[in-house]
């Protein structure tokens, strides 16, 4: 048993009474989202209801999940906390660093060699600190979580945007940055913007060619890529209860593409069946005992518009298969309209590659339904005209579908089975192409299809559909093929038609696996050594940041005054830099290289006040650091928007920037800066931004009496000898001021653990 049954027992023991208390507070029936969030408060239920859209630092997640790319910095930081073990059950999953090229065995061997030191590091940290470790080849994080850890009514955070997949098993599961994961593992409470709630009512029942994927493809078309922002999407209705648990997972998974905080289904018999089928009958029994806590109240389902901020209704009896794309997941085409859209828009009709699987769509049901089409193709004398790949989501599924003959059928049709890993879904794909400049089309059963996502090629038109539709179109080799109405010609010249796919939700012989790829942590990890070479360029152990020196900050030089948009990508670029995620010194060479310097309208070119030369931002900052001179970064509106990447806060801290002063912050970045012990300040009067000159020396005054709600002062010493002062705002509470004084939140935890 890899899951923590005692933890689940405790959650269920407390849930009904916590929900009753919240119900008294709200004085009305509750949505499922409200039930789960109010029952995961670290403190007693508050005196007034949470306001939707406002942030609260009060939640206690039950689990943390991390994938290999994002886990590196999260764990390096966690090691700073000084705890002997993680505070909540946590897992690491090695899935993002495996490149697809020639097939599962060879690709996995190559990845093991190339990423050896990262995998060894993750394995040894996991072993030491009580973290479950899923080895390379064990599977994709979200599929492994669904099969082993997700449970109805739970609250989980994960360092990956598709953590939301676990909503298929009734869990509020939310994607976060590494800093949040680190905090929760270290025992801190977790901050969440209390979401809006969107209800999606599903009536009728799926039939024929339509599958669960088509529901989310349709929802994406209705709500668009922004429609779910700051919202949790709750699915309900007879149609919801009739979907398999893994189908529900598919829908929640791709909820990330509408920007939703997460998506969720209420507990039902299908979830119970899945729990029992994946060796978790004990969890199903417990969930059955608190079933009413794991669904919204009846009146919410009867009168949804009274309780949800928005209600969408979809009749599954009438739903058509959909194909979404290219270049965005919300461009939704019903199958009957798609061929015309391909022609009208001049998209390449020849389909070069069909790819099924990924964390979104690789359940037993998905694979068995796609295999039913592949079998028909083989029996009717057809071979796939496109290249065709299959990415199993986990070793459990791979082993089971191989045992049941499905992988053999795909191979007979000309398909290639890839490693149980992300591969082409995240651009880890050495795609064979004769001409990368050729406009070309691919179709996947994945979730994202932005330009360059799968193969790095801007000329690739990527479409997203169900595994069944991907398989049918790959057999035809033609995007304009409609399997419901069209025929194909086989090797003998006969016209043949594909019948509706058929499959099974669960394997009749049960799931099986020889080696699932799990490494349990040591019972006592105190003697486990963490493997990091001092000469590594991908990993570097962190040293604690130093504490505040106890005096006002003076003599700060202006590093850069940023003009306009400055996202976390401008502050810490992705792409080739991602390989340094575990090496703070190396990745800091990308600090602010995307930000626009207002004084010369150039990126990555700022004045070094020490010698008057212009140079790259990291180089100039390193010169100040070498001279023991602190600096300040000045920014515009919504500074630090975008992904919650913690490197964007750690790099300036590491290189010696002391304060970030902006017109306004993106909330998560502001919090990340505070956690690292930085000063995150905003202009009280936004016009003061204009007063800052390129050669200024700055001061931050009032720190010795740093108090919540009381402004600080900034002084500018201009190069002509004049001086100006103005007030700046901050949002630090008492705790966060302590973080600043200690040099970072982790320094506080370490001192508490050590005390
Ligand atoms: S398979 Fe794709 S969506 Fe799923 S975790 Fe991997 S990269 Fe993310």
Q: What average pLDDT score do residues 589-610 get?
A: 97
Q: Report the atom number in ligand 1 closest to the C-alpha of 447.
A: 3
Asked about 269 being catalytic, the answer comes back as: no
**Ligand 1, atom 2, residue with closest C-alpha:** 425
Ligand 1 site, residue 68, Cβ cutoff 6 A:
no
> 60 to each of 13, 41, 183, 744, how far by Cα in Å?
16, 6, 11, 21
pLDDT the model gives residue 22: 96
Tokens of 75: 């764990």
- Judged by DSSP in three states, 95 sits in coil
- pLDDT tens, position by position, 136-166: 999 999 999 999 999 999 999 999 999 999 9
Buried b (16+ CB within 10 A) or exposed e, 391-411: bbbbbbbbbbbeebebbbbbe
* CB-based contact 583:650 (threshold 8 Å): no
Q: Report the atom number in ligand 1 closest to the C-alpha of 142.
A: 5
CA of 455 to the centre of ligand 1 (A): 14
Asked about 645 being catalytic, the answer comes back as: yes
pLDDT the model gives residue 188: 87
Cis check for the bond before 431: say yes or no (omega within 30 of 0).
no
Q: What average pLDDT score do residues 256-274 get?
A: 96
pLDDT the model gives residue 344: 98
CA of 160 to the centre of ligand 1 (A): 8
pLDDT the model gives residue 574: 81
Q: What average pLDDT score do residues 712-738 get?
A: 96
Q: Does residue 712 have a pLDDT over 70?
A: yes
**From CA 291, how far away is CA 294, in angstroms rounded?**
5
* CB-based contact 57:189 (threshold 8 Å): yes
Ligand 1 site, residue 322, Cβ cutoff 6 A:
no
- pLDDT tens, position by position, 375-400: 999 999 999 999 999 999 999 999 99
Q: What average pLDDT score do residues 58-72 get?
A: 95
Q: What average pLDDT score do residues 663-685 get?
A: 93
| pLDDT band with cut points at 50, 70 and 90 for residue 193 | confident
* CB-based contact 746:77 (threshold 8 Å): yes
DSSP state of 529: P
Ligand 1 site, residue 376, Cβ cutoff 6 A:
no
- Judged by DSSP in three states, 440 sits in strand
Ligand 1 site, residue 355, Cβ cutoff 6 A:
no
Q: Which helix (H) or strand (E) holds 339?
A: helix 335-345
In 3D space, the residue among 66, 14, 20, 6 whose CA is nearest the CA of residue 40 turns out to be 14
Q: Does residue 56 have a pLDDT over 90?
A: no
Sort strands 602-603 and 606-607 into parallel, antiparallel or unpaired: unpaired
Ligand 1 site, residue 368, Cβ cutoff 6 A:
no
Asked about 263 being catalytic, the answer comes back as: no
**From CA 65, how far away is CA 684, in angstroms rounded?**
39
- Mutate which of 136, 422, 448, 467 for ligand 1? The one with the most ligand atoms within 8 Å of its CB, which is 422
> 547 to each of 109, 527, 551, 699, how far by Cα in Å?
45, 29, 11, 18
Ligand 1 site, residue 426, Cβ cutoff 6 A:
yes
- pLDDT tens, position by position, 92-127: 999 999 999 999 999 999 999 999 999 999 999 999
Q: Report the atom number in ligand 1 closest to the C-alpha of 391.
A: 1
Start-to-end CA span in the chain (Å): 35
Asked about 643 being catalytic, the answer comes back as: yes
Q: Report the atom number in ligand 1 closest to the C-alpha of 360.
A: 4
> 319 to each of 204, 387, 402, how far by Cα in Å?
9, 29, 32
Spell out the residues 6+ positions from residue 277 whose beta carbon is closer than 8 angstroms to its own: 506, 507, 510, 511
pLDDT the model gives residue 683: 98
Cα 3 off chain centre by: 22
User: Which string of DSSP letters, residue by residue, matches 162-211?
Assistant: GGGGGGGGT-EEEE--HHHHHHHHHT--EEEEPPEEEEEEEES---TT--
- Mutate which of 425, 428, 453, 643 for ligand 1? The one with the most ligand atoms within 8 Å of its CB, which is 425
**Ligand 1, atom 4, residue with closest C-alpha:** 359
pLDDT the model gives residue 755: 61
- pLDDT tens, position by position, 424-464: 998 899 998 889 899 999 999 999 998 888 998 999 999 99
Q: Which of 63, 142, 448, 622 is catalytic?
A: 448
**From CA 194, how far away is CA 53, in angstroms rounded?**
5
Q: Does residue 53 have a pLDDT over 90?
A: no
Ligand 1 site, residue 100, Cβ cutoff 6 A:
no
Ligand 1 site, residue 447, Cβ cutoff 6 A:
yes
Ligand 1 site, residue 155, Cβ cutoff 6 A:
no
Q: Report the atom number in ligand 1 closest to the C-alpha of 96.
A: 6
**From CA 169, how far away is CA 272, in angstroms rounded?**
9
Q: Which of 295, 461, 645, 669 is catalytic?
A: 645
Ligand 1 site, residue 140, Cβ cutoff 6 A:
yes
Asked about 95 being catalytic, the answer comes back as: yes
> 286 to each of 11, 144, 290, 539, how far by Cα in Å?
10, 21, 7, 42
Q: Which of 39, 445, 643, 644 is catalytic?
A: 643
Q: Report the atom number in ligand 1 closest to the C-alpha of 165.
A: 4
Q: Which of 62, 68, 107, 160 is catalytic?
A: 160
Tokens of 76: 């390096």
* CB-based contact 100:107 (threshold 8 Å): yes
CA of 265 to the centre of ligand 1 (A): 21
CA of 242 to the centre of ligand 1 (A): 26
- pLDDT tens, position by position, 589-598: 999 999 999 9
Phi, psi of 678 (to 5 degrees): -90, 160
Tokens of 350: 């020849």
Q: What average pLDDT score do residues 523-527 get?
A: 96
**From CA 745, how far away is CA 750, in angstroms rounded?**
9
Q: Which of 62, 68, 95, 330 is catalytic?
A: 95
**Mean pLDDT of the chain, nearest integer:** 96
% of the chain exceeding 70 in pLDDT: 100
Cα 338 off chain centre by: 30
Ligand 1 site, residue 647, Cβ cutoff 6 A:
no
Q: Count Cα neighbours of 543 within 13 Å in the Cβ-side half-sphere.
A: 6
| pLDDT band with cut points at 50, 70 and 90 for residue 556 | very high
Q: What average pLDDT score do residues 642-670 get?
A: 92
* CB-based contact 506:274 (threshold 8 Å): yes
3-state helix, strand, coil in the chain (%, to 5): 40, 20, 40
Asked about 537 being catalytic, the answer comes back as: no
* CB-based contact 182:672 (threshold 8 Å): no
- Mutate which of 67, 162, 445, 452 for ligand 1? The one with the most ligand atoms within 8 Å of its CB, which is 162
Q: What average pLDDT score do residues 408-418 get?
A: 96
Q: Report the atom number in ligand 1 closest to the C-alpha of 393.
A: 1
Ligand 1 site, residue 293, Cβ cutoff 6 A:
no
Cα 463 off chain centre by: 21
Q: What average pLDDT score do residues 363-383 get?
A: 97
CA of 163 to the centre of ligand 1 (A): 9
CA of 750 to the centre of ligand 1 (A): 34
Ligand 1 site, residue 264, Cβ cutoff 6 A:
no
Which residues, in sequence order, are bridge partners of residue 634? 561, 661
Spell out the residues 6+ positions from residue 506 whose beta carbon is closer than 8 angstroms to its own: 244, 273, 274, 277, 364, 365
Ligand 1 site, residue 162, Cβ cutoff 6 A:
yes
Q: Does residue 516 have a pLDDT over 80?
A: yes
Ligand 1 site, residue 216, Cβ cutoff 6 A:
no
Ligand 1 site, residue 394, Cβ cutoff 6 A:
no
């Amino acid at each position: 048993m890899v899951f923590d049954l005692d933890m689940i027992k405790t959650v269920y023991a407390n849930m009904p009474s916590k929900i009753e208390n919240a119900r008294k507070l709200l004085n009305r029936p509750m949505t499922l989202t409200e039930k789960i969030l109010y029952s995961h408060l670290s403190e007693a239920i508050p005196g007034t209801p949470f306001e939707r859209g406002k942030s609260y630092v009060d939640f206690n997640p039950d689990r943390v999940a991390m994938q290999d790319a994002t886990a590196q910095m999260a764990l390096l930081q966690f090691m700073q906390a000084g705890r002997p073990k993680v505070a909540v059950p946590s897992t690491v999953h090695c899935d993002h660093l495996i490149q697809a090229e020639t097939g599962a065995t060879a690709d996995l061997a190559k990845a093991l060699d190339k990423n050896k030191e990262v995998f060894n590091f993750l394995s040894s940290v996991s072993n030491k600190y009580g973290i479950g470790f899923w080895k390379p080849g064990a599977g994709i994080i979200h599929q492994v979580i669904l099969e082993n850890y997700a449970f109805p009514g739970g609250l989980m955070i994960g360092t990956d945007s598709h953590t939301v997949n676990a909503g298929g098993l009734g869990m509020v599961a939310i994607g976060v940055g590494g800093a949040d994961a680190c905090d929760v593992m270290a025992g801190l409470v977790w901050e969440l913007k209390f979401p809006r709630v969107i209800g999606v009512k599903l009536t009728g029942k799926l039939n024929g060619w339509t599958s669960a994927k088509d529901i989310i493809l349709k929802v994406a078309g209705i709500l668009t890529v922004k429609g779910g922002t700051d919202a949790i999407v709750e699915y309900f209705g007879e149609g919801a209860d009739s979907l398999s648990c893994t189908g529900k997972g598919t829908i929640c998974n791709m909820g990330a593409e509408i920007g939703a905080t997460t998506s969720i289904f209420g507990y039902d018999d299908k979830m119970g069946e899945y729990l029992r089928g994946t060796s978790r009958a004990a969890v199903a029994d417990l969930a059955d005992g608190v079933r009413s806590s794991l669904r919204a109240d009846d009146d919410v389902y009867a009168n949804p518009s009274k309780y949800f901020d928005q209600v969408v209704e979809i009749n599954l009896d009438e739903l058509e298969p959909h194909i979404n794309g290219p270049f965005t997941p919300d461009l939704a085409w019903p199958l009957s309209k798609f061929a015309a859209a391909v022609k009208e828009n001049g998209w390449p009709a020849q389909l070069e590659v069909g790819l099924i699987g990924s964390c979104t769509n690789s359940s037993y049901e998905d694979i068995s339904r796609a295999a039913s089409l592949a079998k028909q193709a083989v029996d009717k004398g057809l071979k796939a005209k496109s290249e065709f790949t299959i990415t199993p989501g986990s070793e459990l599924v791979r082993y089971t579908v191989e045992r049941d003959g499905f992988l053999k059928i795909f191979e007979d049709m000309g398909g290639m089975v890839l490693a149980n890993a992300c591969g082409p879904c995240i651009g880890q794909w050495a795609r064979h192409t004769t001409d990368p400049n050729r406009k070309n089309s691919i179709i996947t059963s994945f979730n994202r299809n932005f330009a360059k996502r799968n193969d790095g090629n801007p000329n690739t038109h990527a479409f997203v559909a169900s595994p069944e539709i991907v398989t049918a179109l790959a057999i035809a080799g033609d995007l304009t093929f409609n399997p419901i109405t069209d025929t194909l010609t086989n090797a003998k010249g006969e016209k043949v038609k594909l019948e509706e796919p058929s499959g099974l939700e669960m394997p009749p012989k049960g799931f099986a696996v020889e080696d699932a790829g799990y490494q349990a942590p040591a019972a006592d990890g105190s003697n486990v050594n963490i493997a990091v070479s001092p000469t590594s360029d991908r990993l570097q152990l962190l040293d604690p940041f130093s504490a505040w020196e106890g005096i006002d900050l003076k003599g700060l030089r202006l590093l850069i005054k940023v003009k306009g948009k400055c996202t976390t990508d401008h502050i810490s670029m992705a792409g080739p830099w991602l390989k340094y995620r575990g090496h703070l010194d190396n990745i800091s060479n990308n600090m602010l290289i995307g930000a626009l310097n207002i004084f010369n309208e150039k990126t990555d070119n700022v004045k070094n006040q020490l010698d008057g030369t212009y140079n790259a931002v990291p180089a100039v900052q390193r010169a100040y650091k070498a001279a023991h001179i602190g600096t300040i970064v000045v920014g515009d509106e919504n500074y630090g928007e975008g992904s919650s990447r913690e490197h964007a806060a750690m790099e300036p801290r590491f290189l010696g920037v002391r304060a970030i002063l902006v017109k306004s912050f993106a909330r998560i970045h502001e919090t990340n800066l505070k956690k690292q012990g930085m000063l995150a300040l905003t202009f009280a009067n936004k016009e003061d931004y204009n007063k800052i000159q390129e050669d200024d020396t700055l001061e931050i005054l009032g720190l010795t009496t740093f108090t919540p709600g009381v402004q600080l002062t900034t002084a500018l010493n201009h190069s002509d000898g004049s001086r100006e002062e103005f007030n700046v705002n901050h949002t630090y509470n008492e705790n966060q001021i302590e973080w600043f004084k200690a040099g970072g939140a982790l320094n506080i935890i370490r001192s508490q653990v050590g005390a």
